[in-house]
Structure 1
Amino acid sequence: MRTVYAQARYQDCAAAIDFLTSAFGFRAHEVSKNDEGVIHHAELLAGDDLIMIGPGRPGGPGIYVAVEDVDAHHDHAKAAGASITMALVDQPYGSREYACEDPEGNPWYFGTYRP
């Protein structure tokens, strides 16, 4: 059996957790700090799924998260400061989705697609 977890890197993990929980509705599951009190690993819940974050250079291929009401999610994320990089669109494969970047430039994709 294999389990796959999405992972993102941040220069400021504490600020990232604040943004991701307020803008995208994730919940902090575990936050581990080193002896200096700096976050070196965190796990956020997106529904029943887990996203791991840690220190490092932001960027990468991006993370896709399926949500129930993508229009409401889009509006909330935009109001919270997410930079929308792809407007809401109905895809030919049946998904409605949008793309954005968080304040450190990590790409995020949200939609209704569930394979």
Structure 2
Amino acid sequence: MNATANTTRTTRNRRAPSVWPTLQAHDAPALIDFLVGTVGFRRTAVYQDGDLVAHAQLDWPEGGGIMLGSHKPGSASWSLQPGTFGAYVVTEHVDDLHRRLKDADVKIIREIEDQPYGSRDFAIADPEGNKWSFGTYPGEPRQAD
């Protein structure tokens, strides 16, 4: 059997995401609108009942994604305090994204700059207080298995 036969692949011949960062929001529909309409995530799936989001999947156009839902303290074994999430998102278009978010009056918490490890990045806070860093550093290459 081919060792890669059981590996899920995307259309660009990259491994599909296997780690999905998750977060919860006080106003999940508004956060989804912000992340999709302002930041640039893609709305892949949203399951909601009124204003409560049971599950949402937002994909980053350049790969990967996040999952989120409405904060329901005490009602689930997986409850995360809104506004405590942080993520690093890789993009080849960091300057354009920075300019677009700044023009949209998004709260920039770290201005764009070149890092000593080769990345160019900046950071924002979303309306719930979560922190998002966007940069060009794709991580170190994986060693062959």
TM (norm. structure 2) is 0.72
Alignment of 1:90-109 (within 5 A): 90-109=114-133
Name the structure with the higher strand share: 1
Which amino acid letter does the alignment assign opposite residue 45 of structure 1?
Answer: D
> Secondary structure in 1 aligned to 2:23?
strand
Q: 1:36-115, aligned counterparts within 5 Å? A: 36=50, 38-47=52-61, 48-56=63-71, 57-115=81-139
Question: Partner letter of residue 134 of structure 2?
Answer: F
**Partner Cα distance (2:122, 2:91) in 1:** 11
Contact 2:121 2:133 in 1 (8 A): yes
- Counting matched residue pairs gives 114
Distance 1:92 1:11, change over 3 A: same
Letter in 2 for 1:103: P
Identity among equivalent positions (%) equals 41
Which has the higher relative contact order, 1 or 2, with Cα contacts under 8 A spaced 6 or more apart?
1
Deviation at residue 83 of structure 1 after TM alignment: 0.5
Q: Which runs of 5+ in 1 are unaligned?
A: none
Name structure 2 gaps, 5 residues minimum: 1-6, 8-16, 72-80, 140-145
Q: TM-score, normalising length from structure 1?
A: 0.89
